[in-house]
Amino acid sequence: MAIFDFFRNSKAKKIDISSFDATMDTEEDETAEEIALYAIFVVAEQIASIISKCEFKTFNKGQEVRGAEWVNLNYKPNKNQSSTEFWKEVVFKLLVNQEVLIVPYNDQRIIADAFCKDDKAIAESVFTSVSRGSFNFAKTYYSSEVFYLKYSNVNLTALLRSINTKYASLFSEAYEKYIRSGGQKGVLDIPTLAASDPKFEERFDALKNKQMRPFFQSKNAVLPLFGGIKYTDLSSEGAKKSSSEITDIRGIIDEAITRAAQTYKYPPQLVRGEVSGINDAIGYALTVCIDPLLNVISEELTAKEFSEREIIDGSYIEADASCIKHIDLMDIAASADKLISSGICCVDEIRPRIGLTPLNTEESRRFYITKNYERVEKAEETKEEGGNEGDEEEQWNV
């Protein structure tokens, strides 16, 4: 099965999994660990893909601005990666390795493949042996000079160990059942006279290895038998793999993916592609999974790009997750009208939210409020002054 080849090659990914500290004593343990890694990779890949869609907004003294910093974050962080590729790699490494280092280098941001971190209790932490591919950064970096993101998830290690313990024997049994269901079985009748031949063992080994093995491995073949030997096939119907064997293996893999999604506080139904209750699932994912990760990134970028005084004055970097969920123009028409008519947003603030470009006109940047909105105090005053029923109804019609 192709899925087993994926498991065998899963460790070839450039991901540091030493922090998992998993001990593999048997082939079943190794296979179980590969299932856990596969599940983690699937979930982390989806979360990273979602976050890579976000826009990083830059603010200067409370006003949104688009300068070199904004271009760097949203279009070209370095010469070899687009922003989508860059942030997808950042988030994937953050989720799997639980940490990632980004090094500023000649107006570029470079994601480190490997580094050594010397933690300090009071002084700045020091980063050495920083490398990206075949390039080694000769400089020693202090924490104030780099962007270091850390995602502490103790459940990740527990997940790997749990799957190792729980699924090793289950997967081994399911795999053996799958192999047996597709194997060929039969009875080989060997006459007593042939078995008493002094060269019987030699001839029997030749029969097994040179004749029967190619026969079973070939799609179409003929098996010549001599000396009264007779072969009876017992597996003509059993050679067909039933759906139950496939289901057993798929069930173990699906459960591992579900456990991995729960570890990252990500709705499992989104990984499985289920559409039932998708709006609630997306809302939950944004609240407990996506937003905390974006906060980690935004806070680190803000802390390193701006001084304390600038942050107090309203300069910061914020990840906008509103583009994650697809918005249908007709579905939110009434809500958009309400936001504009209540004076909460202007037209140019609404248009980017629904995939339209701002008009950048004087009218589109103005704020409006309908006549239905009125201070409660004024409405009470009008009522006390003896306004007629028609006036009263119009004033309270919000």
Query: Which residues, given as ranges, of the chain have pLDDT below 70?
Result: 1-33, 157, 159-185, 193-195, 216-219, 221, 227, 234-246, 248-249, 326, 376-398
Look at residue 15 in the predicted model and tell me its pLDDT: 43
Given the structure tokens 């097994």, which residue do they identify? 208
Look at residue 7 in the predicted model and tell me its pLDDT: 42
Picking from 207, 216, 214, the residue whose alpha carbon sits closest to that of residue 185 is 216
Look at residue 95 in the predicted model and tell me its pLDDT: 92
Three-state SS for 111? strand
Total-model pTM:
0.70
d(CA 315, CA 309): 9
In sequence order, the 6+-apart residues with CB closer than 8 A to the CB of 351 are 357, 358, 359, 364
d(CA 58, CA 283): 25
d(CA 307, CA 297): 17
Look at residue 137 in the predicted model and tell me its pLDDT: 93
The DSSP code sequence of 186-239 is EEEE--HHHHTSTTHHHHHHHIIIIIIHHHHHSSS------TT-EEEE--TTTT
Burial of 160 (0-12, 13-18, 19+ CB in 10 A): buried
Given the structure tokens 């079985």, which residue do they identify? 185
Look at residue 49 in the predicted model and tell me its pLDDT: 93
Strand order in the sheet with 316-320: 63-65, 55-60, 316-320
Per-residue pLDDT tens for 224-252? Answer: 777 677 777 766 554 455 555 567 667 77
Query: Count of alpha carbons within 13 Å of 265, Cβ hemisphere only?
Result: 15
Q: What is the DSSP letter of 241?
A: P
Give me 291's structure tokens: 């937003």
Look at residue 369 in the predicted model and tell me its pLDDT: 87
> From the CB of residue 40, how many other CB atoms can be counted at a distance below 10 Å?
27
